[in-house]
């Protein structure tokens, strides 16, 4: 990396004035947005985009440098730099900023050419940068990852997690910037929440360089120096909010407030830029919506799914062990193939329980141990996966879903290729009690549009589902309990999900045919089978359906039972938000006129062996059989 | 606070042996649990319970010292100390540990006498301790708050947030311990996730004392010293996992593994304790479940709700301003009354937007500015509220719900008295785009059993709902959009929620009567009114129902419309998980045979003015009126 020449520095100076004009015009035109921080970060953005290996020609190549902007509200700044560097027509960004249907949204998003990661909820950018930085080695690339952050944002705990992770995994290709303008929405950061940013980074092992964030020579020198330091580096850049417009400087009100047209005129005069707002007003009035511009680029994924493993009906193992065997097989198989995408496994101090310990032991370079840092890990795994990686993040349900819901939401908005595997869901986790009983995994994830959810019934279905999810681009949640599970048998006593079984996403399996359907899934299915058998002995002919993909219902199979006046659901999940709620939705929105009886968990539960708890709360197979009988 | 005498120290030594025996017996009997960390923390627990002002006689008094154990899996240690100090019968704790229906659960919970805060999900304890520490001054109490944490747990980012908060608010009555045994589940903490715990606390401004955590004299001296230091203090206690049983020491396997009966026998011999396991086995076999033991103690709450404010139909304001006016009124009113409970307002750098800025300006001592630290703030506000405080945590929906879901879940399990007020929910937030559009607030909170959710329709209903929630013990979510809202008029053009309106939780308001119901709420209700008016002009007679409490449906009102073959829902929320889903559930589980048509948001949306976005995605009143017509 070479020093910038005097001419190049002069060119940056000129560009920075144009960009300031762009920022002010687009925010005034939209009547909202964040000009203050944009003006404060813009000189750094310009310098990094100048020096880094990223351009309109290579922004889809695997070896480009990555630039993450964590404080995504500085979108006007980002759009102006990208536009002025030819990633798209700058006039469109100015004209269509924050206009419904435009890609130039209030916070930066991945469909904009050159934007690597959708941000907006603060504190996640450094974790995303870690994910992209670690991905480099799997493609024998030496690219850098630059991560810009705000200073107020440093208050978020997730950043401390990311800092430690970067040190542990020697992500020396990671260079972070803090835009240290000392103002956040509520005022001076020292008043809002006193913090020693520099000391915190040093305590965690980072190198810290301090510069003037509006001096192009200092910025470029720091980038060159940071590239030489064999550690993650923070460039703490002293800046001025609203920099370049005298009446905006150091005023926190401009964090999130656009100038009026009169103020804009005054500001443009000060910058020496022509006021051509009318031109953009006309463009804005003639905007035409194009859905295809909102598509996000995906790398193609090629995974060898190997040979499925079939567990015999006499085997009694847990689904998580079946997951562990499958993921170990997948990592091994694909690590040997040059045309396979790398499969990485992320852990939060639970490898032994979630059964990724064999990957940890035997395929160390495909395994990332993050410690008890779930927020960071969820984001890091997600961000790695948009770079040609297949990420598996295995954790207990309460950590991989409940604790990290917003991180998974942002992953989903980012269209990541993340496989979240949560074990220990349901009351099935048993003695660990309420805080560990993830009885909301369907209900919580139901709010995300992109995630596909699979809750396999037994070790055989688990094996197939894991191999399937690994090979398909996109976000999956695969959930399972803790306890050992019976291998579900067919009517002949053979494994229902046997040698010939092929997992089909969305398919409902008729485990036992009959007239009145009992719908279940996961670890409850084996209890459902007990219910059906008890009732069979009493002359009642129930069908047992396995709904392993609750978000994408197999309508044809369900409608086979439309003549039954009553349906039952039975689940180890909050009764308000699980499969029962989804089936109710199906019944009501299709106007089927069927009565639904839902069996599920009605309150935070107890700590004890699952069977004992189910008995205590009226959900044992015997109790359910009696209940069903009373309805028929 | 006085030095412990030699006799007292000797007594602690003796007790510590008995407690070690208790820990080992209860875990072996249960066949699971966490003996390793319990043995490592037990000597500190004993010393603090000895020196702190807490006993079976005063554990419900407001001036007791508070002891929080953040690493709640050391429950065997906590139960043994509490039992040996007379909070309950130690034999019951040993016999019933982790038995379904017993209060001695796998992780400590608040229904156990002496347990201040239910924990289990790591990283939240220090925030809870902050909440209890700040509560002290409102009751003119000088109590101390002691907080125990694990060392692996220090990796959680939320702890860094809590550290800063404690310094900012000079919580000098806060003394924290880290049980520094250097082992977490996956092995040595330095291998799992290298961290400079001491330096991190110092960087954030804490005083740090280092001691031997198994030396009673050192522990007690450190407590006395910490009490003198005018800063939050961390006592970094070097300990040994499994301490006291030679073959368990420094073995991470005993983090979460009980001894076999043979090993127990060996360990008890080493400790010089009689093996009376048979006695406990018999007790365990005869356990009888008592639901009343699971009840959590609540302080009575007394709040003056003041005089409701009525906004006329010509007023156009936003619900958040109505919230702002109401909360300012409530804080002022109750701050003046000696028999009122204090109302505290917690903010995360958004006071101006969520309209708590007037409280911040005029009632500074009732206002806590946490910066961008939502995880900490949610827990801190929750924990303050179990100590006689009424906590209001106001934030944007994506931060107060999505980002902090697991903190709210733990608050709910803790039966807190927290009022979460989220503004900027829905697409109504507009230009900030996908990352800021909280279109899942009903769907996510639906998973919590205790929270009551209110989504007021206009400023008048907002005013009443806020006053109502402040006066009732329990967890409430009150959600509102960003935009200005019409005051909902009755048929005579007067405010529907006028002078005489009294908020009734769970009531459905018939805004306009008719034959076919259109159910709506929040900022969409005004659009629903437009729909009804459009259709009225076309001769269709729709009823408009306001479902402001979606979790507790008013069955009688709904059943008035049971003869309509079709119902419609219309909401600014994910269509899969909002009111539509709840109404579908009502229809199907009651077997009503009604067809439901749900209008809501089908994907992550765009950035722009709400009306423009609604038009783009087919949710404008005009589009909905046309759709409804096509069904009739």
The answer on A428 and A384 residing in a single domain is: yes
A347 contacts: CB under 8 Å, gap ≥ 6 = A354, A356, A360, A367, A368, A369, A370, A377, A394, A395, B186
CA distance B418 to chain A (A): 18
For residue B166, give Cα distances in angstroms to A122, A193, B129, B399, B425: 22, 10, 9, 21, 30
Please report whether residue A360 resides in a domain. Answer: yes
Task: Take residue A575 and report the two structure tokens written for it.
Answer: 């009764």
Closest by Cβ to B435, choosing from A121, A205, A585: A121
Q: What share of chain A in percent tops pLDDT 70?
A: 100
Contact at CB, B615 and A100, closer than 8 angstroms: yes
Q: A 499-538 residues with CB below 8 A of B?
A: none
Contact at CB, A204 and B185, closer than 8 angstroms: no
Domain tally for chain A?
3
Distance CA A31, CA A34 (A): 10
CA distance B33 to chain A (A): 8
Contact at CB, A409 and B402, closer than 8 angstroms: yes
- Inform me whether the pLDDT recorded for B463 exceeds 90: yes
Task: Take residue A81 and report the two structure tokens written for it.
Answer: 């730099």
> CB contact, 8 Å: A253 with chain B?
no
The answer on B104 and B248 residing in a single domain is: yes
Task: Take residue B280 and report the two structure tokens written for it.
Answer: 């406990």
The CATH number of residue B542's host domain is 3.40.50.920
Contact at CB, B200 and A204, closer than 8 angstroms: yes
Q: State the pairing for strand pair A476-479/A452-454.
A: parallel
pLDDT digits (tens, 9 = 90+) for B44-101: 999 999 999 999 999 999 999 999 999 999 999 999 999 999 999 999 999 999 999 9
Q: List CB contacts (< 8 A) between A409 and chain B.
A: 402, 440
Quick one: average pLDDT of A254-269? 97
Locate the chain B residue with the closest alpha carbon to A184: B349
Phi, psi of A244 (to 5 degrees): 110, -20
Locate the chain A residue with the closest alpha carbon to B566: A591
What is the radius of gyration, based on Cα positions, of chain A?
Answer: 27
Q: A 430-449 residues with CB below 8 A of B?
A: 431-436, 439-440, 443-444, 446-447, 449
| Burial per residue of B283-297, b for 16 or more beta-carbon CB atoms within 10 angstroms, e otherwise | bbeeeeeeeeebeee
Distance CA A518, CA B349 (A): 50
Give chain B's length.
632
Name the average pLDDT for chain A. 97
Distance CA A506, CA A16 (A): 52
Q: List CB contacts (< 8 A) between A100 and chain B.
A: 606-609, 612-613, 615-616
Please report whether residue B292 resides in a domain. Answer: no
The answer to whether residues B540 and B564 touch, using CB atoms and an 8 Å cutoff, is no
**Which of A422, A454, A486 is the last residue before a domain boundary?**
A486
- Inform me whether the pLDDT recorded for B361 exceeds 90: yes
CA distance A320 to chain B (A): 18
Residue in this structure with the two tokens 């309209």, named with its chain if needed:
B355
In chain B the first and final C-alpha atoms are separated, in Å, by: 77
Locate the chain B residue with the closest alpha carbon to A589: B596
A266 contacts: CB under 8 Å, gap ≥ 6 = A247
The answer to whether residues B192 and B186 touch, using CB atoms and an 8 Å cutoff, is yes
Please report whether residue B302 resides in a domain. Answer: no
The answer on A468 and A516 residing in a single domain is: no
Phi, psi of A584 (to 5 degrees): -60, -45
Closest by Cβ to A606, choosing from B101, B199, B585: B101
Task: Take residue A421 and report the two structure tokens written for it.
Answer: 């595997």
The answer on A616 and A525 residing in a single domain is: yes
Distance CA B116, CA B382 (A): 12
Q: State the pairing for strand pair B476-479/B509-512.
A: unpaired
Q: B 137-196 residues with CB below 8 A of A?
A: 152-153, 155-161, 164-165, 167-168, 184-186, 189, 192-196
B481: containing domain: 316-486
The answer on B524 and B433 residing in a single domain is: no
Quick one: average pLDDT of A543-547? 98
- Inform me whether the pLDDT recorded for B300 exceeds 80: yes
| CB-count burial class (<10 Å; 0-12, 13-18, 19+) for B458 | buried
The answer on A422 and A320 residing in a single domain is: yes
Task: Take residue A381 and report the two structure tokens written for it.
Answer: 């795994």
Closest by Cβ to B186, choosing from A185, A349, A591: A349
| CB-count burial class (<10 Å; 0-12, 13-18, 19+) for B246 | exposed
The answer on A395 and A480 residing in a single domain is: yes
pLDDT digits (tens, 9 = 90+) for A155-180: 999 999 999 999 999 999 999 999 99
Interface probe with A: pick from B74, B100, B382, B599, most Cβ of A within 10 Å? B100
Residue in this structure with the two tokens 């020396």, named with its chain if needed:
A172
Which region, left, alpha or beta, applies to residue A355 given φ > 0 means left and ψ of -120 to 50 means alpha?
Answer: left
The answer to whether residues B334 and B360 touch, using CB atoms and an 8 Å cutoff, is no
Distance CA B508, CA B454 (A): 11
> CB contact, 8 Å: A426 with chain B?
no
> CB contact, 8 Å: A335 with chain B?
no
Contact at CB, A402 and B405, closer than 8 angstroms: yes
pLDDT of residue B37: 96
The answer to whether residues B479 and B441 touch, using CB atoms and an 8 Å cutoff, is yes
Contact at CB, B595 and A591, closer than 8 angstroms: yes
A475 contacts: CB under 8 Å, gap ≥ 6 = A408, A411, A412, A415, A416, A417, A418, A419, A420, A448, A450, A451, A452
Please report whether residue A577 resides in a domain. Answer: yes
pLDDT digits (tens, 9 = 90+) for A589-598: 999 999 999 9
The answer on A218 and A80 residing in a single domain is: yes
pLDDT of residue A430: 87
The answer to whether residues B215 and A219 touch, using CB atoms and an 8 Å cutoff, is no
Contact at CB, B585 and A581, closer than 8 angstroms: yes
Please report whether residue A246 resides in a domain. Answer: yes
The CATH number of residue B227's host domain is 3.40.50.970
| Burial per residue of B22-54, b for 16 or more beta-carbon CB atoms within 10 angstroms, e otherwise | bbbbbbbbbebbbbbbbbbbbbbbbbbbbbbeb
Closest by Cβ to A585, choosing from B98, B581, B609: B581
A561 contacts: CB under 8 Å, gap ≥ 6 = A515, A516, A517, A543, A567
Distance CA A158, CA B457 (A): 35
Locate the chain A residue with the closest alpha carbon to B445: A444
Please report whether residue A504 resides in a domain. Answer: no
Distance CA A189, CA A208 (A): 19
Q: State the pairing for strand pair B484-486/B316-318.
A: antiparallel
> CB contact, 8 Å: B65 with chain A?
no
Quick one: average pLDDT of A265-290? 98
- Inform me whether the pLDDT recorded for B140 exceeds 80: no
Chain-centre distance for alpha carbon A211 = 33
pLDDT of residue A304: 98
Nearest to A303 by CA among A471, A474, A473: A471
Please report whether residue B300 resides in a domain. Answer: no
Quick one: average pLDDT of B195-201? 95
Quick one: average pLDDT of A405-410? 98
The answer on B251 and B106 residing in a single domain is: yes
Contact at CB, B585 and A590, closer than 8 angstroms: no
Interface probe with A: pick from B178, B406, B564, B612, most Cβ of A within 10 Å? B406
pLDDT digits (tens, 9 = 90+) for B223-274: 999 999 999 999 999 999 999 999 999 999 999 999 999 999 999 999 999 9
Contact at CB, B121 and A398, closer than 8 angstroms: yes
DSSP A59-74: TTSTTS-EEEESSGGG
Distance CA B366, CA B347 (A): 11
Task: Take residue A337 and report the two structure tokens written for it.
Answer: 């193939």
A245 contacts: CB under 8 Å, gap ≥ 6 = A20, A24, A39, A267, A270, A271
E strand or H helix at A226: helix A216-228
Distance CA B421, CA A45 (A): 36
Q: B 462-501 residues with CB below 8 A of A?
A: none
Task: Take residue B575 and report the two structure tokens written for it.
Answer: 């269509």
- Inform me whether the pLDDT recorded for A316 exceeds 90: no
Q: List CB contacts (< 8 A) between A587 and chain B.
A: 584, 587-588
Residue in this structure with the two tokens 């119901």, named with its chain if needed:
B517
Closest by Cβ to B373, choosing from A156, A574, A603: A156
**Which of A448, A471, A486 is the last residue before a domain boundary?**
A486
In chain A the first and final C-alpha atoms are separated, in Å, by: 77
Name the average pLDDT for chain B. 97
The answer on B584 and B439 residing in a single domain is: no
Closest by Cβ to A101, choosing from B565, B585, B616: B616
A336 contacts: CB under 8 Å, gap ≥ 6 = none
- How many contacts (CB atoms, under 8 Å) link A and B? 362
> CB contact, 8 Å: A539 with chain B?
no
The answer on B335 and B246 residing in a single domain is: no
Closest by Cβ to A402, choosing from B352, B406, B604: B406
For residue A534, give Cα distances in angstroms to A249, A531, A614, B8, B349: 76, 5, 17, 62, 58
> CB contact, 8 Å: A71 with chain B?
no
> CB contact, 8 Å: B454 with chain A?
no
Contact at CB, A372 and B184, closer than 8 angstroms: yes
The answer on A95 and A44 residing in a single domain is: yes
Residue in this structure with the two tokens 């996908």, named with its chain if needed:
B434
Nearest to A237 by CA among A217, A216, A212: A212
The runs of H, that is alpha helices, within A428-524 are 441-445, 459-471
Contact at CB, B607 and A107, closer than 8 angstroms: yes
pLDDT digits (tens, 9 = 90+) for A359-386: 999 999 999 999 999 999 999 999 999 9
Q: A 565-604 residues with CB below 8 A of B?
A: 565-566, 574, 576-577, 580-581, 583-585, 587-591, 593-598, 602-604
| Burial per residue of A284-305, b for 16 or more beta-carbon CB atoms within 10 angstroms, e otherwise | beeeeeeeeebeeeeeebebbb
The answer to whether residues B295 and B113 touch, using CB atoms and an 8 Å cutoff, is no
pLDDT digits (tens, 9 = 90+) for A101-146: 999 999 999 999 999 999 999 999 999 999 999 999 898 788 999 9
pTM, two decimals, is 0.98
Query: pLDDT band at residue B316, thresholds of 50, 70 and 90?
Result: confident
Nearest to A21 by CA among A262, A265, A365: A265
**Which of B228, B263, B285 is the last residue before a domain boundary?**
B285
Q: Looking at the DSSP assignment, which residues form a beta bridge with residue A566?
A: A595
pLDDT of residue B1: 83
Contact at CB, B160 and A375, closer than 8 angstroms: no
| Burial per residue of B500-514, b for 16 or more beta-carbon CB atoms within 10 angstroms, e otherwise | ebebebbbbbbbbeb
Please report whether residue B293 resides in a domain. Answer: no
Distance CA A162, CA A127 (A): 5
pLDDT of residue B501: 97
Contact at CB, B192 and A369, closer than 8 angstroms: yes
Query: pLDDT band at residue A395, thresholds of 50, 70 and 90?
Result: very high
> CB contact, 8 Å: B558 with chain A?
no
Q: What is the DSSP letter of A398?
A: I
Contact at CB, B98 and A431, closer than 8 angstroms: yes
Q: List CB contacts (< 8 A) between A352 and chain B.
A: 185-186
Q: List CB contacts (< 8 A) between A106 and chain B.
A: 431-433, 436, 607
Contact at CB, A193 and B372, closer than 8 angstroms: yes
pLDDT digits (tens, 9 = 90+) for B541-574: 999 999 999 999 999 999 999 999 999 999 999 9
Task: Take residue B450 and report the two structure tokens written for it.
Answer: 């205790």
The interaxial angle of helices A157-168 and A374-385, nearest 10 deg, is: 60
pLDDT digits (tens, 9 = 90+) for B580-615: 999 999 999 999 999 999 999 999 999 999 999 999
């Amino acid at each position: 990396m070479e020093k910038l020449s005097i001419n190049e520095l002069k060119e940056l100076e000129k560009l920075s004035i144009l960009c300031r004009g762009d920022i002010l015009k687009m925010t005034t035109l939209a009547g909202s947005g964040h000009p203050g921080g944009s003006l404060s970060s813009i000189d750094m953005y310009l310098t990094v985009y100048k020096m880094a290996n990223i351009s309109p020609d290579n922004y889809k190549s695997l070896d480009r440098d990555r630039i993450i902007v964590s404080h995504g509200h500085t979108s006007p700044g980002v759009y102006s730099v990208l536009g002025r560097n030819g990633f798209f027509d700058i006039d469109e960004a100015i004209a269509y900023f924050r206009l419904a249907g435009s890609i130039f949204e209030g916070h930066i998003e991945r469909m904009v050419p050159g934007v690597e990661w959708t941000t907006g909820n603060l504190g996640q950018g450094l974790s995303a940068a870690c994910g992209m930085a670690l991905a480099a080695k799997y493609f024998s690339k030496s690219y850098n990852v630059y991560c810009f952050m705000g200073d107020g944002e440093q208050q978020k705990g997730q950043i401390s997690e990311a800092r430690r992770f970067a040190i542990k995994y020697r992500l020396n290709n990671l260079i972070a910037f803090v835009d240290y303008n000392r103002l956040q929405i509520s005022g001076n950061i020292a008043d809002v929440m006193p913090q020693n940013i520099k000391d915190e980074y040093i305590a965690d092992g980072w190198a810290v360089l301090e510069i003037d964030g509006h001096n192009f020579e200092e910025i470029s020198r720091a980038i060159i120096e940071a590239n030489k330091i064999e550690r993650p580096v923070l460039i703490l850049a002293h800046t001025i909010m609203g920099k370049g417009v005298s009446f905006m400087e150091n005023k926190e009100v401009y964090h999130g407030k656009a100038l009026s047209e009169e103020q804009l005129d005054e500001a443009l005069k000060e910058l020496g830029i022509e006021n051509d707002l009318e031109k953009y007003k006309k463009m804005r009035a003639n905007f035409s919506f194009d859905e295809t511009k909102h598509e996000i680029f995906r790398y193609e994924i090629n995974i060898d799914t190997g040979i499925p493993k079939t567990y015999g009906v006499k085997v009694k193992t847990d689904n998580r062990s079946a997951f562990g065997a499958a993921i170990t097989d997948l990592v091994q198989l694909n690590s040997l193939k040059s045309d396979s995408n790398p499969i990485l496994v992320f852990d939060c101090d639970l490898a032994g329980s979630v059964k990724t310990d064999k990957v940890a032991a035997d395929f160390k370079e495909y395994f990332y141990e993050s410690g008890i840092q779930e927020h960071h890990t969820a984001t890091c795994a997600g961000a790695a996966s948009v770079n040609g990686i297949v990420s598996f993040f295995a954790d207990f349900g309460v950590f991989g879903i409940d604790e990290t819901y917003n991180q998974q939401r942002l992953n989903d908005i980012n269209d990541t290729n993340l496989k979240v595997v949560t074990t220990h869901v349901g009351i099935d986790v048993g003695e660990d009690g309420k805080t560990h009983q993830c009885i909301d995994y369907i209900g919580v994830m139901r709010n995300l549009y992109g995630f596909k959810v699979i809750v396999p019934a037994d070790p055989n279905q688990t094996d197939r589902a894991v191999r399937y999810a690994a090979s398909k681009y996109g976000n999956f949640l695969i959930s399972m309990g803790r306890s050992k599970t019976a291998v579900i048998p067919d009517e002949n006593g053979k494994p229902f999900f046997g040698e010939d079984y092929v997992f089909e996403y969305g398919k409902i399996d008729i485990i036992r045919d009959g007239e009145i359907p009992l719908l279940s899934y996961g670890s409850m299915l084996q209890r459902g089978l007990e219910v059906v058998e008890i009732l069979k002995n009493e002359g009642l002919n129930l069908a047992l359906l396995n709904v392993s993909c609750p978000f994408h219902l197999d309508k044809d199979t369900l409608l086979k039972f439309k003549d039954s006046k009553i349906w039952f659901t039975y689940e180890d999940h909050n009764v308000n938000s699980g499969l029962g709620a989804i089936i109710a939705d199906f019944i009501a929105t299709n106007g089927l006129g069927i009565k639904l009886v839902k069996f599920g968990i009605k309150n935070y539960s107890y700590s004890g062996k699952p069977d004992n708890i189910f008995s205590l709360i009226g959900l044992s197979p015997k109790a359910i059989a009696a209940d069903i009988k009373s309805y028929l």
